Amino acid sequence: MDDSTNDDAAPDLWARFRQTTRARIGLGRSGDSLPTQALLDFQLAHARARDAVHSQADFVRIAADLQPLETIEVTSAAPDRATYLRRPDLGRRLAPKSHDRLKHGNWDICFVIADGLSAAAVDAHAAALVHATLPYLGGWQVAPVVLARQGRVALGDDIAERLGARLVALLVGERPGLSAADSLGVYITWEPKVGRQDSERNCISNIHGAGLSVAAGADKLGWLLNQAARLQLTGVNLKENAPALCAPEPAREPD
């Protein structure tokens, strides 16, 4: 007998709790299994997560959305998606064929957009976040935005060191979960160079439609970048205590 049929006339005691969270709570049961709708919802979320991991970011459209900013496309040492997923180390190194595309300059900040583990995240939010952050950086010399295919977080260090940027903000698709397949993360590193540790970075995560908004993410990112330039550091010694959604303040030019 399907136990869920006994609940048709009973009030759903979990309904108001489900309105406050994307977590799967109070799903009920049908015999020894989940009700059909809950099972189908789970399978759909799992499929979306897999698609986000295996899909390719649309860097042509992202470059168009970033205009009038200049863009440069590079690739990591991972030659394809399958290798990238099996060999995280290759995603942290720039492919030799991309070295000559990065010209050394005198840049205050370099934005890198890496597909990471969710193409859906960078397609949906990356360009908008870059544009929303620029008003916080008045007077800064901004390098061309680098679009990095098959990229991991540490790839930003290699890219920014070659460009000569004092700061790098790497926007990357985060590992998708069953509640969000399009979550974007940002990793900020002062004086980026190959070999930097994760403890030397600051991170803003969970930027997506049902999480941290692009406006709120840009607000936090702008604050962190200005503080990093003022203190000349990032990582565990830079505490993120930005006021929520403050208006852009005049940016302090890096020393």
pLDDT in tens, 178-219: 566 788 999 999 999 999 999 999 999 989 988 899 999 999
Question: Mean pLDDT over residues 220-249, rounded?
Answer: 81
Model confidence at 52, pLDDT cuts 50, 70, 90, reads: low
Q: Report how many domains make up the chain.
A: 1
Q: What percent of the chain has pLDDT above 90?
A: 59
Residue 93 domain-assigned (yes or no) = yes
Give CA–CA dist 111/120, Å, rounded: 18
Residue 25 domain-assigned (yes or no) = no
Give CA–CA dist 96/79, Å, rounded: 11
Give CA–CA dist 104/92, Å, rounded: 20
Residue 66 domain-assigned (yes or no) = yes
Q: What is the pTM of this model?
A: 0.80
CB 128 within 8 A of CB 145: no
pLDDT score recorded for residue 168 = 98
Model confidence at 246, pLDDT cuts 50, 70, 90, reads: very low
Q: What's the token pair of residue 252?
A: 């302090």
Among 216, 197, 190, residue whose Cα is nearest residue 205: 216
CB 223 within 8 A of CB 136: yes
Which DSSP state fits 4?
G
Has residue 235 got a pLDDT over 80? yes
Which CATH number is 138's domain given?
A: 3.40.50.11240
For residue 192, give the 3-state DSSP assignment: coil
Question: What is the H or E stretch that residue 201 is in?
Answer: strand 201-207
Which tops the pLDDT comparison, 181 or 223?
223
Residue 95 domain-assigned (yes or no) = yes
Which tops the pLDDT comparison, 244 or 194?
194
Residue 44 domain-assigned (yes or no) = no
Among 116, 131, 124, residue whose Cα is nearest residue 71: 131
pLDDT in tens, 133-149: 999 998 999 999 999 99
pLDDT score recorded for residue 184 = 94
Q: Which domain holds residue 152?
A: 54-231
Residues 6+ apart with CB under 8 A from 103: 163
Give CA–CA dist 84/6, Å, rounded: 49
Residue 255 domain-assigned (yes or no) = no
Which range has the worst mean pLDDT, 2-6, 17-21, 85-89? Answer: 2-6
For residue 19, give the 3-state DSSP assignment: coil
Residues 6+ apart with CB under 8 A from 177: 49, 183
pLDDT score recorded for residue 4 = 47
Has residue 46 got a pLDDT over 90? no
Residues 6+ apart with CB under 8 A from 208: 121, 124, 125, 180, 182, 183, 184
Question: Mean pLDDT over residues 76-94, rounded?
Answer: 92
pLDDT score recorded for residue 150 = 92
Phi and psi at 152, nearest 5°, equal -105, 175
Question: What is the H or E stretch that residue 170 is in?
Answer: strand 165-173
pLDDT score recorded for residue 14 = 76
Residue 179 domain-assigned (yes or no) = yes
CB 173 within 8 A of CB 115: yes
Three-state SS letters, 74-88? EEECCCCHHHHHHCC
pLDDT score recorded for residue 244 = 55
Question: Mean pLDDT over residues 84-112, rounded?
Answer: 95
Residue 244 domain-assigned (yes or no) = no
